[in-house]
Structure 1
């Protein structure tokens, strides 16, 4: 679970230092946006490659190696002063995150199988918790007077301390032997693609809250700019809380119903946010999105590790790659829809897609 916390902390610690990097490079928003694409490209390229590395070396070693690289790269994000060096550093940062994501989920699938009970939501809950704590820790250290590079270096040390303290507890490659036997290349089956597309939609819905909720609240619901970020905060807190409690819900009702009801609740949340005449109710809509979506991805990732005839080290990288494409490319598509019509219409499209997930999902 602490490895998931490490990944969440590592990803979220980047957010508070983006303005410093932007100022040092002298970039405008457009230039920064293009540079940030390299981070996503690094993650997407490494996700399928990580599956190959896991089959050869086991997810335990890959997890350790990627976190070490992440810890080294984090301070460099505040030291690189040219577009080329910053671009290469961001690409490496994204590649490390993508590698950790696949490797830690491969570990989680095997641990869940080892315990023979649903625990995937708790893992992802720690990732979400790291996403909340990262900016708080970074912001607190910087506000207390520490130089940003020292603050981010402190985060790197914490990440290393956690991973080295927990390394012995990770399952060895011997426990993954059944999943690593892949003698020849084969195209992913329909079940793998289906799970990937479901993840694509859910990640699109989550990513759109990150990228567009503040704009929506400010421009459509007339929120003050200073508090427009409350939508994402409400969503994040709701998602974290529900993930930490999620395994109990999965035990009480079937994983299939978690997806069916969760997607429907998230869809309703988007519609509440759009059609509410009151600002506070729009915030409640974003809370519903977080509550509903919280445990869908953990269930889908767990299902990817249980597809008959397909090793988890093959299925999981494909599902994660397709899914994270939704978090990267999806919000851009939402921007196109918003430009062509309105952001409210774009949010309604997301609500419709979530209903597709609710209606179409079947247990794999």
Structure 2
């Protein structure tokens, strides 16, 4: 009998490794841009492959979590994710790069839904909230990935060997940790997508994660470019590093913040941090002001996805796995629009101007989250 503590440790390890692998890819986007000599618009088009691959994984991921225990698609998805990361590093032309990125996104989609289904299932065995801490480990993994990328940049390690080393580590962790994942978490009800009028409960949460995904995706993919071309620092990973550091800090304290102030207030505080942080970085494009600005954006975006996933898991219409799958579609759509939109706006105007999109998304979070909680209160009274 495996203890809940051991389940939590190895599930946290998967979140950590997921953050590390994603940060490995995102932190070397400037390297890919330079290697293939892409302009901003061309890079934006390449980044479209990421959300397109995720959308292709939508029907399969939803079917897998309803057909099998989540540890099966989690393990297979992450193993294939390691292979795709290595293929990105060895891509020698645009076609092979796009194909590898699509596979990376496709497998990330399957893994993410599976690992979050495990997290929500394990949460039921704890009295205190632990979902935020899982996402905190994702951010810690992201920090580790950025630090590793920074070290390899300093040592002039080629991207192909960098990505291959991380991929091998991913495979080792996957093969060993499979035995410690939860079993028998397949839900018997709520596994089918109901084609009807959108459920307001899920729809509002979907809009929230959509706006957050634009901010997160844009910061993941463009923070390095911003520090390289606007702040003009040689080690361009600083911006991504500070963003991920404060995202991790926020996620480890987000459960305490929610317990103290409640989810409605936490959503508003998150939005204010995003708006003020990105405004600071845009208006004052200098190293330290940008570092402070990016840290505020990281702190602001961090709690939104964990809170929204936790709320989705309480859906009365769908199982936790299916609810997460649905709102993740909104998140992927945000990823679809965010990074390419930044690229096209940067090409048409400037990179500084394009970052205004993040402030607009932060502003829209306030009324939409308030509409969600109003709907929730009315539903509770009616029920």
- RMSD after superposition: 3.3
Structure 1: any 5+ residue segments left out of the alignment? none
13, 23, 26: which one aligns with 2:24: 13
Alignment of 1:80-99 (within 5 A): 80-99=91-110
Q: How many residues are matched?
A: 360
Q: Residue deviations 1:233-292, cap 9 Å, x none?
A: 322211112112222222333223221221122222223334459753343222222112
Instruction: Determine which of 335, 341, 349 is the counterpart of 1:333.
Output: 341
Structural mapping, 1:104-183, within 5 Å: 104-138=115-149, 140=151, 149-172=160-183, 174-178=184-188, 181-182=191-192
Tell me by how many angstroms 1:195 deviates. Answer: 0.9
1:54–1:180 contact (8 Å) kept in structure 2: no
- Cα deviation 1:181-229 (Å, max 9, x = unaligned): 438655541221211111111121223334455666677xx63343665
Contact 2:152/2:162 (CA < 8 Å) preserved in 1? yes
CA distance change for structure 1 residues 253 and 165 in 2, over 3 Å: closer, same or farther? farther
* Partner-residue secondary structure (3-state), 1:226: coil
Q: Does the C-alpha gap of structure 1 residues 116 and 71 become closer, same or farther in structure 2, counting only changes over 3 Å?
A: same
Which residue does 2:48 correspond to in 1? 37
Change (3 A) 1:161 1:21: same
Question: Are 1:256 and 2:264 counterparts?
Answer: yes
* Pair 1:232 & 2:240 matched: yes
Map of 1:203 onto structure 2: 213
Structure 1 partner of 2:364: 356
Q: Relative to structure 1, is the Cα distance of residues 332 and 273 closer, same or farther in structure 2, using a 3 angstrom cutoff? A: same
Q: Tell me, which stretches of 5 or more residues in structure 2 are unaligned?
A: 1-11, 377-383
* Partner of residue 3 from structure 1, selected from 14, 31, 45: 14
- Cα gap change, 1:338/1:256 in structure 2, threshold over 3 Å: closer, same or farther? same
| Mapped contact 1:4–1:123 kept (Cα < 8 A) | yes
Residues 21 and 77, structure 1, Cα contact 8 Å, conserved in 2: no
**Pair 1:80–1:349, CA change in 2 (3 A):** closer
Q: Distance in 2 between matches of 1:63 and 1:42?
A: 17
Distance in 2 of aligned mates of 1:171 and 1:120: 15
Q: Distance in 2 between matches of 1:64 and 1:320?
A: 19
Matched with 1:304 is 312
* TM-score when normalising by structure 2: 0.80
Tell me how far 1:42 sits from its aligned partner: 0.9
| Pairwise CA distance, 1:65 | 0.7
Rounded to whole Å, the distance in 1 between the matches of 2:277 and 2:42 is 34
In the TM superposition, residue 69 of structure 1 has moved relative to its aligned partner by: 0.9
Measured at CA, do residues 215 and 130 of structure 1 come closer, stay the same or move farther in structure 2, by a change above 3 Å? closer
Describe the SS at the equivalent of 2:318: coil
User: Is 1:110–1:176's contact at 8 Å kept on the other side of the alignment?
Assistant: no
Alignment equivalent of 2:299, drawn from 291, 304, 327: 291
| Larger displacement relative to structure 2 (116-125 or 34-43) | 34-43
Change (3 A) 1:201 1:147: closer
Aligned counterparts of 2:264 and 2:311: Cα–Cα separation in 1? 10
Which moves more between the two structures, 183-192 or 313-322? 183-192
Deviation (angstroms), 1:49: 2.7
- TM-score for the superposition, normalised by structure 1: 0.84
Distance 2:323 2:355 in 1: 30
Give the conservation status (yes or no) of the 8 Å contact 1:192–1:304.
yes
- What is the deviation of 1:230? 3.6
Give 1:95 deviation, angstroms: 0.7
Change (3 A) 1:135 1:232: closer
Question: Hey, what's the Cα distance between the residues in 1 that align with 2:141 and 2:281?
Answer: 26
Q: Which residue of 1 aligns with 2:203?
A: 193
